Structure 1
Amino acid sequence: MAARRAKSFALTAGQTDLTTDVLEQVHEDVQRLATDYPQRPLTELLPDLFTTQDTLFTLLEQQRRPSQARQLYFLAGVTGGLLAKASHDLADPYAALTQARTAFVCADNADHNGLRAWIRGIQSLVSYWAGRTRESVKYAQSGAEFAPNSTASVWLPVSEARAWAALGNANATRAAIERAEAAWDSVQEDEVDELGGLCTFGRTRQIYYAAEALSWLPSETTAAADYANRAVTAYEDTSSPEWAFGDQAGSRSALAITRIRAGELEGAAEAVAPMLELVPEQRINGIIHCAQRVHRALGESPLAEAGGELQEQIEAFTRTPLKSLPS
């Protein structure tokens, strides 16, 4: 509490002409939130997310030197992107896309292409999980023009691949996965990537996205299983900077779907068992959708009758998502 009060005083005292210390403090706050986001329950982060966005908006309401305004707009855009993801995780796509649009305005004011590309990735992600798959494709394609070198140049095409796969377009899915892989040859981390966490896109996430994309397509079950196995193995290392409980759960659900298609009920149950142990505070919107995909795949397979117990476990799990918890 004392540290928070000291920080609040420092920010207020520096409002007339922001000092280097003030800018460094706000940058550090945003970086910590970006790094923590994939690894900690959202309930632990929301108060600081709200406070940080409010602080940045307050600082931007004062007239600033152009260099300071650009940095504040950049940080406000990142924070808005994180809050867009938070609204998505709470199953509120309207609020998520509202936050993302404001974040994109901040990216324009900062004139930062890397941030523009990253926000388009957030918009593609939100639209994908909201079932607005063609919109997800458009956001991913729109962002590609801003991301020639950052890791978003990998994230955007593999996000496009997931949306094409959900639409059943196998050719477009494979082409987008190949573009994502080829993009690594020219990746150079930018100012967004340097924040880490949710703001950068690594190879493990790429493997998971490819697994999820291909798991939509029965004709690609073998390739999907290969990607899913690699992703599950990679996410077993909880000390990795790339570790994220949401993507770990998604990898396991993709693996379970491939095993259901192969007639391996026990293997499918084994794949999703760790996901079904997640506490309600970690049952974000994407994880709930992943669990429901496994439930649906099981119900549509010859294993439906034998898989009744697993379906019941999934139903119990999805009854208490994060959004159901008291705010």
Structure 2
Amino acid sequence: MTLWGVHEWSAEHVERLRTASRLTKTEFARRLGVTMRSVTNWENGARISPFSQSLLDAFLIGAKEDVTSRFQVLTAENGASQSGNGETSSSEAESSDTQRKPPEDSRVDGQHPDRAACTLGISNAAGSYRSPVIKLAQETPPTPTRVAGSVVESPTVVLERIKIQGGFHLSDATLDALDSFINDVIDRYELEGPSTLAGEVVSQRRWLQPSLTGWVPPRHAHRLATIAGKLSGWLSYMAVNLGLFSSARAYGSEAFQLAEHAENDDLKAWVRGTQSLAEFYDGQYRKALDYAVDGRRYADSGPQAVRLAVNGQARALGHLEERKAAEATIDEAYELLPRFPSEPGMSPCISFGVYSRARVASNAATAYLALPLPDKALQHAQDAAATVETSSSQWSHALVRLDMASAFITKPRPELEHGIALATEAMTASRENRIESIRQRLRTFQDQLAGVAEPAMTRTFDEQFAAWLTEESVTT
């Protein structure tokens, strides 16, 4: 047992935490933002991924004292040690009171920073948002980045050292360092993914919290709220990529609140786009459309209008079978592009800037597939594919291939072998770094294939997809 909880979660630890919380498996799963099946698997001895470990860490950190007390008692009674091997040290038992209380210097007005109410306006009413994810970055020191044959430290490493040396001192230099961190994450995100980077973002977001809950110099207030809003907005986006929609909604609400306090309409528009994304991948297409339309109020004719039109409105309208409106918003996105400096290649998915033409094309393809207009979808996907081939983003490689694959098998004259080959390439491209959108599109392709192909052909793909999913459950 560490100061903040369990060093490594085992089946026994999970069951004791749930028992201490007096929750059913269904209730416990809902609080964590996972499925009941996941909880059952953990309690039956299945491997608990690093991300799931961090969900459990955060649940224990945010639990009330009666829950942590019962958990400590159950752990001591069952002889659980730091590694869960059945041995308990006397020093651990003697320090249980210390373990279940954060140190006083980490509290704000007597509360743990993660649970303190923000004087900038962030509420934390009972039962509302609780920071849901990932171990702090200082628990797993980031790896230095190798550049031009020498080792230099990433902004994350430097920020961690600043924390250790002097806590949080609000200054232009510190805020500059946080801006550098944001640019660094944009560059790394599609290579490393949310499971790797969310922990670093959580760490910086938590570090800012005491300043958000205290007095902030007026010249720093808007900039601080903007940076915090971007970090919370990213965590919403990352939660979508991980399929954790409850966490995505909580982070999205927090991010929008911070954007309001920063009086930053561009950030408000970006957050609305991310909230739309969360609802879209959770199958709530009307809500996705509503968020995107509201975001357009803040975006006006600015760069976020492109993303909101094609990623938010058009794709949701496609699933709502509103063909004319969907096509109109796709056209509008293309018409907006010349107003902004051209973004080369495939713009980063997590960027706060304008979409590139290739990203507009890839989103247009997804919208046309939903209408369904497979020939138009294929046209736009092929337009994006020319750029994707030179991109380092394996997600973009996979998603564009999957849209092309679906278009090929849903055309009036299906090209089944071509479609299957593209879907197989998408699984290979995303094998090391998977996200929810790829999982969903593979399932959609599987359903479409079952409707047009012979059983022998579908059986082969089903086996490949099942292997991909099984491999994922072991490695992520």
- TM-score, scaled relative to structure 2: 0.61
Larger displacement relative to structure 2 (58-67 or 169-178): 58-67
Structure 2 residue aligned with 1:7: 162
Assess, with a 3 A threshold, how the Cα gap between structure 1 residues 5 and 209 changes in structure 2: closer, same or farther. Answer: closer
Answer yes or no: is the 8 Å Cα contact 1:30–1:52 preserved in 2: no
Matched, 1:25 2:177: yes
Structure 1 residue aligned with 2:361: 207
Answer yes or no: is the 8 Å Cα contact 2:273–2:308 preserved in 1: yes
1:271 corresponds, among 405, 422, 444, to 422
Q: Greater Rg, structure 1 or structure 2? A: 2
Structure 1 residue aligned with 2:283: 131
- Cα deviation digits, residues 282-303 of structure 1 (max 9, x gap): 1211110011111111112255
Letter in 2 for 1:235: V
Letter in 1 for 2:163: S
1:316 corresponds, among 457, 461, 467, to 467
Structure 2 residue aligned with 1:73: 225
- The within-5 A match list for 1:208-287 is 208-218=362-372, 220-239=373-392, 244-262=393-411, 263-278=414-429, 281-287=432-438
2:313 corresponds, among 143, 160, 177, to 160
Answer yes or no: is the 8 Å Cα contact 1:114–1:146 preserved in 2: yes
Structure 1 residue aligned with 2:191: 39
- Cα deviation digits, residues 13-65 of structure 1 (max 9, x gap): x62xx222111111111221233223322222122111111112233223111
Letter in 1 for 2:433: Q
- Cα deviation digits, residues 142-183 of structure 1 (max 9, x gap): 000111243211010112111111122222211111121122
Structure 1 residue aligned with 2:236: 84
Answer yes or no: is the 8 Å Cα contact 1:56–1:75 preserved in 2: no
Runs (5+) with no aligned partner, structure 1: none
- TM-score, scaled relative to structure 1: 0.88
Q: Distance in 2 between matches of 1:131 and 1:290?
A: 13
Letter in 2 for 1:231: A
1:298 corresponds, among 449, 452, 459, to 449
Answer yes or no: is the 8 Å Cα contact 1:147–1:153 preserved in 2: yes
Letter in 2 for 1:216: A
C-alpha displacement at 1:325, in angstroms?
A: 5.8
Matched, 1:104 2:259: no
Answer yes or no: is the 8 Å Cα contact 1:31–1:196 preserved in 2: no
RMSD: 2.4
Runs (5+) with no aligned partner, structure 2: 1-140, 142-156
SS in 2 for 1:282: coil
2:334 corresponds, among 162, 170, 181, to 181
SS in 1 for 2:192: coil
C-alpha displacement at 1:197, in angstroms?
A: 4.7
- Cα deviation digits, residues 77-112 of structure 1 (max 9, x gap): 111111001111221111101100000000000000
SS in 2 for 1:131: coil
Letter in 2 for 1:252: R
Q: Distance in 2 between matches of 1:314 and 1:35?
A: 30
C-alpha displacement at 1:274, in angstroms?
A: 2.4
Letter in 1 for 2:291: Y
Matched, 1:118 2:270: yes
**Structure ranking higher on relative contact order (CA contacts 8 Å, 6+ apart):** 1
Answer yes or no: is the 8 Å Cα contact 1:228–1:254 preserved in 2: yes
Matched, 1:150 2:299: no
Letter in 2 for 1:70: H
Q: Distance in 2 between matches of 1:11 and 1:31?
A: 24
Answer yes or no: is the 8 Å Cα contact 2:260–2:268 preserved in 1: yes
Assess, with a 3 A threshold, how the Cα gap between structure 1 residues 142 and 151 changes in structure 2: closer, same or farther. Answer: same
The structure where helix makes up a greater share of residues is 1
C-alpha displacement at 1:196, in angstroms?
A: 8.7
SS in 2 for 1:199: coil
Larger displacement relative to structure 2 (55-64 or 111-120): 55-64
SS in 1 for 2:452: coil
C-alpha displacement at 1:229, in angstroms?
A: 1.2
Answer yes or no: is the 8 Å Cα contact 1:259–1:265 preserved in 2: yes
Q: Distance in 1 between matches of 2:471 and 2:299?
A: 38
Q: Distance in 2 between matches of 1:98 and 1:130?
A: 14
Aligned length: 313
Answer yes or no: is the 8 Å Cα contact 1:260–1:301 preserved in 2: yes
Q: Distance in 1 between matches of 2:202 and 2:219?
A: 24
Q: Distance in 1 between matches of 2:229 and 2:185?
A: 13
C-alpha displacement at 1:117, in angstroms?
A: 0.3
Q: Distance in 2 between matches of 1:217 and 1:101?
A: 30
Structure 2 residue aligned with 1:53: 205
Assess, with a 3 A threshold, how the Cα gap between structure 1 residues 59 and 303 changes in structure 2: closer, same or farther. Answer: farther
Assess, with a 3 A threshold, how the Cα gap between structure 1 residues 126 and 325 changes in structure 2: closer, same or farther. Answer: farther
Q: Distance in 1 between matches of 2:348 and 2:177?
A: 14
